[in-house]
Structure 1
Amino acid sequence: MILKSLLFSICLLVILPLQAQSKPRIISLAPHLAEIVFALDAGEQLVATSEHTDFPEAAKSIRTIGNSHSLSLETIIGLEPDIVLAWRTGNPELQLQRLADLGITIFYSNPASITDLLEEISDIANLIGAKQTAQQVIKQLAQDVERLRQQYAARKPVNVFYQIWHQPLRTVGNDPWLNELLATCGGQNIFRNLAQSFPLVGYEAVLHKNPDAILIPYKETPSKRTPSKETPSKETLSNEKQSQETNHWQQWHQIDAVKKGHISQLNPDWLHRFTPRIIQGLEQLCKTLDAVREANEH
């Protein structure tokens, strides 16, 4: 009996460390990648993240090792990651190559569509050992997106100017990600045919296109109310932000969106980050455009 107990204890000492080692150590180099890892219930495997990684709350306590411009290679190497999740267009290419040359496994994220996002979630899950959770996440997200597509497919299109920045005035051109999100809700980007993803444009060009709505991505500060799925689709910008983001439109009252007050804010983290939270962004976007649609019908 004593011998059996001793053998059992020895087995535990051998097996438990092996089980712990079976979960790869992960470094995320973009907020959306850390968010995906948490969505796959693997947040405890993250040993480092990048600046601006702020969701979920637990992600804020993980050490950061750089940003989109520069990475601390020495720190990354010292953490001995099994996998580095990188953003192909959002991380320093030369530094990533140095990590790859050292034999570190790097997964490159570069989704251009919702389908790409679903595939990336699956690929990341395969790398980090979260296949079962991924199946549930992917199925739910795909169903939710399809539900919205069907709900708004027959609605009258709403012409949209999507303001990325106000000084200088920058918008969305042929960027496939944001154009797909707009189209899902029956929105049409008035500059979707421009060759650049995020071009600078003039106010006269916006006036010529005469959009029904002007959409402004704006992240609330912690002291202000954070938008949610239940938030009314047409929100009033805070006084401070309204001064910065919307006052420059008031002299262009010939534009229908300005004349009718269809200038709305959206949560950029929900729309601009490639994560399952895009469904929250789509819900907010669709409600916003539907409010404009209904107002124009009366």
Structure 2
Amino acid sequence: MRLVTSFSIAMFSLALPLICLLLIGCDKSATNSSTSDNSVQINEIEIPANYPLTVTDELQREVKIVTPPQRIVSLSPSNTETLFVLGLEDRIVGVTHLCDYPPAALEKEKVGDFNANSISMERIISMKPDLVISGGGFHQDVISNLTRLNVTVLAVEPKQFDQIYARIELLGKVCDVEPKATELVESLKKRVAVVRKRSIEIKPDPPIKVFYQIWNDPISTTGNVSFIGEMLQTVQVNNVFSDLNTGYAPITEEALLVKNPELFLIPMYHGGEEDVEQILSRPAWQGIDAIKNKRIAFLPDDEVSRHGPRFVEGLEAIFHACYPEATLD
């Protein structure tokens, strides 16, 4: 992952009193309102009757939203994608360098990378956001610092299908686009249902034994209690490491030999088709059925790793990798 150097702690500490002083005149409460010249004025928008509202975020924090946010900073690619699908692109004033989809996200101002250490607090403050949408625990320091500066932060970090649906609904509620959010969720649920139904109809008995490679050094995979694990269960395959007690974990080559999967699923961030021969030629893997039969499928990495609206495209890609002759019609 790329790293963007953040301002030093010492410099931030020196600037903090000045920043706080500037913010006192703009917002004396932990709300999402702002009265600076460059922000959207409250009296310029019609405040819906259901505002202010209070919602609970990923970290079980109660977050008060005074008006529908008009200046949003998004700190994770999946949340940025959700905002765009909900038609909120004009309200987004800042994103991270990893927010690269849709292409229009690349044109937004950047506040750093995804990891907390790279995010520039000063850059965020300069954008005068009335809402910052962060990730969960890995953004805890950013959340704490912004909250101390009276910036409204909503932590959103879904990890399962149902949580993705719920967080889309949450963003729809917060941003006053609930009908669009509901429509999106229903569409995603229907596509997931189609994949599940077709997989049940065509799965062999016994199911295909699949190894999903999360990372190659060390070799890592996933159990069933994870986002990827739920995808594998949905397409009705036998995840050979479903017995892992943790979501993601390293494994040994010996364990992989014992499991003897029939199919390897590998996200594209490991490389591409040119790496197939390298994988097939690994001496320790020559006894594995997937290697002997050259059954290796590469998956689109963003779609299978980002917990946003495109996860269903990742699910469909896994379906086609497992059942290459089948359709979802």
Question: Which of 122, 126, 132 is 2:173 aligned to?
Answer: 126
For the Cα contact (< 8 Å) 2:266–2:298, is it kept in 1?
yes
2:45 — aligned with what? 18
Question: Which of 275, 296, 299 is 1:266 aligned to?
Answer: 299
Find the residue that maps to 2:238 and give its secondary structure.
strand
Query: In angstroms, what is the RMSD of aligned CA positions?
Result: 2.5
Q: Note the alpha carbon deviations across 1:213-246, whole angstroms, 9 max, x for none.
A: 111100499xxxxxxxxxxxxxxx432x4366x2
Q: Give the length in aligned residue pairs.
A: 262
Whether 2:153 is the aligned partner of 1:83: answer no
Instruction: Give the TM-score, by structure 2 length.
Output: 0.73
- Seen in structure 2, the aligned counterparts of structure 1 residues 248 and 44 have a Cα distance that, compared at 3 Å, is farther
Q: Note the alpha carbon deviations across 1:89-117, whole angstroms, 9 max, x for none.
A: 443x2221111222222221221211110
- Structure 2: gaps (5+ residues): 1-40, 48-66
4+ runs deviating over 6 angstroms: none
1:242 — aligned with what? 276
Q: How does 1:32-111 map to 2 (within 5 A)?
A: 32-67=78-113, 68-70=115-117, 71-91=119-139, 93-111=140-158
Please state how far the C-alpha of 1:292 moved relative to its aligned partner. 9.0
Find the residue that maps to 2:285 and give its secondary structure.
coil
- Structure 1: gaps (5+ residues): 1-13, 222-236, 294-298
Q: How does 1:184-223 map to 2 (within 5 A)?
A: 184-219=234-269
Whether 2:161 is the aligned partner of 1:114: answer yes
Please state how far the C-alpha of 1:36 moved relative to its aligned partner. 0.4
- Seen in structure 2, the aligned counterparts of structure 1 residues 257 and 242 have a Cα distance that, compared at 3 Å, is closer
Please state how far the C-alpha of 1:175 moved relative to its aligned partner. 4.0
Find the residue that maps to 1:291 and give its secondary structure.
coil
Instruction: Give the TM-score, by structure 1 length.
Output: 0.81
Aligned residues with identical type, % of pairs: 27
Find the residue that maps to 1:192 and give its secondary structure.
coil
